[in-house]
Structures are given as structure tokens and as C-alpha cells.
Amino acid sequence: MRIIVCENYQSLSKKAAQIIGSQMILKPNSVLGLATGSTPIGMYKNLIKMYEEGLIDFSKITTFNLDEYYNLPAENNQSYHYFMYDNLFNHININKENVHIPNGMAQDIDNECLHYDKMIDNSSGIDIQVLGIGNNAHIGFNEPTINFNKGTHVVTLDESTRKANARFFSSLEEVPTKAITMGTGSIFKSKKILLLASGKNKAEAIYNTVHGKVTPEVPSSILQFHQDVILILDKEAASLLSKDDYEVVQEVSKVK
């Protein structure tokens, strides 16, 4: 596990976008695994800027999103469909046919889960998967539980997750109780994983991800077994780690 600590959220976002951008330059038809939540928004802004500057091209890129609320229409401005179009897809030259987000409105939800995993398998596999992390160490919507879930599945959201996400809705009651998410197994199959965390409220989850026992009660702890994981943290999210755990990103000053 490689851990990079940035000065603040702005530099974390830039660093994450540079890593995704490099992947896209090296492999223009990359398959990207994408995440929602507040944390990746800055990375998406930087990617849009890189696209506008002509540095990266999304025309051959395929994407798979981690999760979506169950039974929340795509048009709802709190759906992850809406989030992804609003924060990224509407601003870049991605072919919309190459965009995949689990359909939480599917009539046959079990079939939707199987179909989603099949589509990932039928692509060349996810080259780089972006993850946020919950205060309870969830990745995607894989909440703390008694076993690691392999494939895409329906989950009942933890009360702590619903409360954390209530800030986006007008009330806690409006936050869906269920979601459809890629499993830890689907995430683990990604060739490279980029986990972003910002803020003091993530520090304990990050400590447990790096140093804790590997257990489904700490879903992110499975990443200790993955061969290519990069954690990009700001100082606050890294505050419970020791300095020996990580590398510090120095801001490069302009050379005249």
C-alpha cells in the first residue's frame, strides 16, 4: 500500500486527477471505476480542466460507477446518476454508451446485479478504481458486516451512513434506506485502486485501513491484501498515521 499525504484538499484533488490523467494518457481506452460523494468532486473539477486544456481525451474511456441508491430515480438530483453527469460527464467528451452506473430502479434487481458484474467482466476489467471511504470504513456502499461481499448486491445502509448523507437531502427520512453497490470482491479485482480521504472524521477509518485487522467489519481493510493500492490523503485524514507510513507531497514551486 502506497500512502501519499498532501497539504490540503486542493492538492489531494490535483494529485488524484494527475494519476487518473496519466492512466488515460498511457491507455486511452482505459476502464475507470468511479466514485461519488464529496471527496472526489475536486478531482473531477481538475479532470474537466485537464480535458479543456487538451491534456486528456475521454472519447475511448469506459466507466463503471461503484453504487447507486435503491429506488431513487436517475432524474432525482440526489441520485448518483445525476451527480456523475453534473460533476463530470456533462463537461467532457465521453461516449455516454460507455458510461455504466448500477440501475437502482431495475424491476429485477438481482438480475441487474448479475448483469452489472458481467459487464465489468466483459470489459477488459477496471484499470483504476477510485474510492472514497465512509466514516465507518465502508467502500462503495459495502457497510461493516460479517463477511466480504463478492459481487454487486443490494445493501441496507447503516444509520451512520444515512446520517452522513442526510446533508444532501432535506431530511433524514428522505435518505434511501437501501442501495446497490459493487461488492468488495468486484472492487478487489480492479488492477489499481486509488482511495481518497480528506478530513479528521476519516482519520480513524484510515488508520484501521492501514494498520487494523483485516475484517469485513472494516470493509476497507481488505485493501491490505491488494497488490496495487494508493491512498491519497490530506493531513487531517492522515493524522493518526505515523510519519513512517507515508510520503509527503511537496508543492512544486514554479521554476522561472
Q: Which active-site residues does the annotation give?
A: 67, 136, 138, 143
Interhelix angle 9-26/41-52, rounded to 10 degrees, is: 50
Residue selected from 18, 38, 123, 224 as contacting ligand PGA according to rule CB under 6 A: 38
Considering the complex, state which of residue 104 and residue 134 has its C-beta at the smaller distance from ligand PGA.
134
Considering the complex, state which of residue 121 and residue 174 has its C-beta at the smaller distance from ligand PGA.
174
Considering the complex, state which of residue 13 and residue 23 has its C-beta at the smaller distance from ligand PGA.
13
- Report in angstroms how near the CB of residue 230 gets to ligand PGA at its nearest: 16
Considering the complex, state which of residue 27 and residue 178 has its C-beta at the smaller distance from ligand PGA.
178
Contact flag: residue 134 with ligand PGA (CB under 6 A): yes
Rounded Cα gap, residues 197 and 92, in angstroms: 25
First to last CA, the chain: 36
Size of the site for ligand PGA (CB under 6 A): 6
| Alpha helices (runs of H) in the chain, residue ranges in sequence order | 9-26, 41-52, 80-87, 109-122, 159-165, 184-188, 203-211
Contact flag: residue 102 with ligand PGA (CB under 6 A): no
Residue selected from 42, 132, 151, 176 as contacting ligand PGA according to rule CB under 6 A: 132
Residues 6+ apart with CB under 8 A from 28: 57, 60, 61
H or E segment to which residue 128 belongs: strand 128-131
Contact flag: residue 37 with ligand PGA (CB under 6 A): yes
Residue selected from 11, 39, 152, 184 as contacting ligand PGA according to rule CB under 6 A: 39
Contact flag: residue 5 with ligand PGA (CB under 6 A): no
Write down the residue that cell numbers 491534456 correspond to: 55
Contact flag: residue 205 with ligand PGA (CB under 6 A): no
60-99 positions binding ligand PGA, by CB under 6 A: none
Largest CA distance in the chain: 60
Q: Which range of residues in 19-27, 35-43, 103-111, 112-120 is near ligand PGA by CB under 6 A?
A: 35-43
Q: Which range of residues in 45-53, 107-115, 130-138, 203-211 is near ligand PGA by CB under 6 A?
A: 130-138
CB 192 within 8 A of CB 22: no
| 71 class by beta-carbon count within 10 Å (0-12 exposed, 13-18 middle, 19+ buried) | middle
Considering the complex, state which of residue 24 and residue 130 has its C-beta at the smaller distance from ligand PGA.
130
Instruction: Map 83-103 to HEC letters.
Output: HHHHHCHHHCCCCHHHEECCC
Footprint on this chain of ligand PGA (rule: CB under 6 A)? 37-39, 132-134
